[in-house]
Structure 1
């Protein structure tokens, strides 16, 4: 139950933040907004270091996990964020957010191809519903 509540809280926060970002993008370019937003990420990293002291654990990590996490940070925290801000600045928030939230489609395919995850009827129905929603918003 705790995991479900945390996931729901995450969804709420992720649903609220684009509203703030859309307001923030009203008078600036996406690249400027990105740099300003990153100050919040840096502040969050500093707070995490102060509260949890993860630095000794980082020293014990191997190359592979560090590589994948840094790559994920570059792709999600830099590339996708700039693309997202451009879409958010120029499009309607009520269309942009649902479309950007279709990422489970790509995760599903990657999990199936590279991790050998099973395709089940319920997963297929979920994928079809996501695709249908995207088509409705197009």
Structure 2
């Protein structure tokens, strides 16, 4: 049950942050806004390091893990964030957020195709519901 509440808290935070970003983007160009946002990430990392003095798992990381995590950081933390800001700056938050939140569909497909994850009825229904919701917004 703890995992569910943590996921729900994550969803709330991820739902609240675009509101803050939309307000912040009202008078600034998306790239400049992104750079300012990154200062918040940097500050958060500094605080995290200050309160978590030991990172024993760093020494256990292989090149493959490091490569994929750095690539994920570049794609999600830079590329997708800049594209998202451009969409959020020019579109309605109520239409942009639901579309960007269809990422589980892509995760589902990639997991099925490349990781051999099973297609279940509940996963298929979830994907169809997400896609149906996106079509209603159009």
> 2:54 & 2:25 partners in 1: Cα distance?
33
Q: Does 1:103 align with 2:124?
A: no
What residue is the counterpart of 2:131 in the other structure?
Answer: 131
**C-alpha deviations, 1:33-60, integer Å up to 9, x for none?**
0000000110111111111135443233
For residues 78-135 of structure 1, give each alpha carbon's deviation from its aligned partner in whole angstroms, at most 9, with x where no partner exists: 0000000000000000000000000000000000011110001111111111111111
Q: TM-score, normalised by structure 1?
A: 0.96
- Tell me the distance in 2 between the aligned counterparts of 1:54 and 1:74: 25
Aligned residues: 138
Alpha-carbon RMSD across the aligned residues, in angstroms, is 1.0
Alpha-carbon shift at residue 8 of structure 1 (Å):
0.5
- Give 2:119's aligned residue: 119
2:71 — aligned with what?
71
Give 1:45-56 correspondences, 5 Å limit.
45-56=45-56
List runs of 5+ in structure 1 lacking aligned partners: none
After TM superposition, what 4+ stretches of structure 1 lie above 4 angstroms from structure 2?
none
1:41 equivalent in structure 2: 41
Q: Show structure 2 runs of 5+ residues with no match.
A: none
> Scaled by the length of structure 2, what TM-score is found?
0.96
